[in-house]
Amino acid sequence: MHPQDSAIPNIMTDLERAVRIALDEDVGSGDITAQLIPAERIAHAHVITRESCTISGRAWVDEVFRQLDPNLQVRWHFEDGDTAEADSILFELEGNARAILTGERAALNFLQTLSGTATTAAEFAARAAGTEVKILDTRKTIPGLRSAQKYAVLCGGCHNHRIGLYDAFLIKENHIAAAGSIDKAVAQARNIKADALVEVEVETIEELQQALNSGVDVIMLDEFNDADTRIALSLAKGKAKIEISGSVDRDRIQQLAALDVDYISSGSLTKHLRAIDLSLRINL
């Protein structure tokens, strides 16, 4: 998979900017330690993973080394979305030794973070295997890496919720209170952007019925128990999609998926990730 193949808007622009910022904060006025190595020295290096993981972030790694030295060669052994076992060589580098060492940390930071996200997503997706439910991410992402992490979620086999505040409506308690009612909030949303998806979060069966009457596309059930969820599914059938959110971790996915809801969203996909342990080894 490649970022360009995703439906995430502006991802390539975001990628280039994120890499530029990462290099600026790390390299600053110049890598003084790399200057210990002769400027003309050519080296070979490879990166291994110390643990099994789902790969994501190739394009970010490539961009790090492209910005530092376009002549440096990166040879990948895995595609994004592939599973790599512990001690696998993920990619090799050939070129200027200073450029390799200067870009090492920024490149591995992107790869360990995005592969960590993809690995978590793969674990969630596995819990819902054999069902029709789609596991969705949220906006609880690392600042500046929204599109990157949402891409990594796709690499892990899960799906994207809205990308930001601009591409879909998610009407919650405070929005409803400000608008006056669920019906009024939904009507205003349709007037503001008629082609955008409209989702409403509800806390009771009564609110669910109000949302259905207003013609929403998706209803998010906030902390519903299993019995009320089944009632909600029965009432919404053929009228709106049902999403479960709130206190969803990987241990609850299988139980929730068995209820036959349409979507399960979890901030854990992006905010509770654990970076993958990677290591670069260089031959000068």
Domain ranges of the chain: 3-125+273-283, 130-271
Among 172, 239, 250, 271, the one annotated catalytic: 172
Among 66, 140, 190, 252, the one annotated catalytic: 140
Question: Taking every pair of C-alpha atoms in the chain, what is the biggest distance, in angstroms?
Answer: 73
Among 31, 63, 201, 243, the one annotated catalytic: 201
pLDDT tens digits along 126-147: 999 999 999 999 999 999 999 9
Look at residue 143 in the predicted model and tell me its pLDDT: 96
pLDDT tens digits along 210-261: 999 999 999 999 888 889 999 999 999 999 999 998 777 777 888 888 888 9
The pair phi, psi for residue 193, each rounded to 5°, is: -150, 95
Look at residue 156 in the predicted model and tell me its pLDDT: 98
Look at residue 279 in the predicted model and tell me its pLDDT: 97
- b or e along 35-67 (b: 16 or more beta carbons within 10 Å of the residue's beta carbon)? eebeeeeebebbbbbeeebbbbbbbbbbbbbbb
pLDDT tens digits along 57-111: 999 999 999 999 999 999 999 999 999 999 999 999 999 999 999 999 999 999 9
**Residue holding tokens 């995703």?**
6
Among 222, 228, 262, 277, the one annotated catalytic: 222
pLDDT tens digits along 167-221: 999 999 999 999 999 999 999 999 999 999 999 999 999 999 999 999 999 999 9
Look at residue 222 in the predicted model and tell me its pLDDT: 87
Answer yes or no: CATH 3.20.20.120 is held by domain 3-125+273-283: no
Q: Please determine, for residue 112, whether its predicted confidence score (pLDDT) is greater than 90.
A: yes
222 catalytic per annotation:
yes
Look at residue 253 in the predicted model and tell me its pLDDT: 85
The set of residues, in sequence order, having a beta carbon less than 8 Å from that of 131 and lying 6+ positions away, is: 257, 258, 260
Look at residue 249 in the predicted model and tell me its pLDDT: 73
Question: Which of 19-23, 131-135, 262-266 reaches the highest mean pLDDT?
Answer: 19-23
239 catalytic per annotation:
no
Q: Please determine, for residue 163, whether its predicted confidence score (pLDDT) is greater than 90.
A: yes
284: confidence class by pLDDT, cuts 50, 70, 90? confident
CATH superfamily of 130-271: Aldolase class I (3.20.20.70)
The predicted model scores a pTM of 0.94
Among 62, 94, 105, 139, the one annotated catalytic: 105
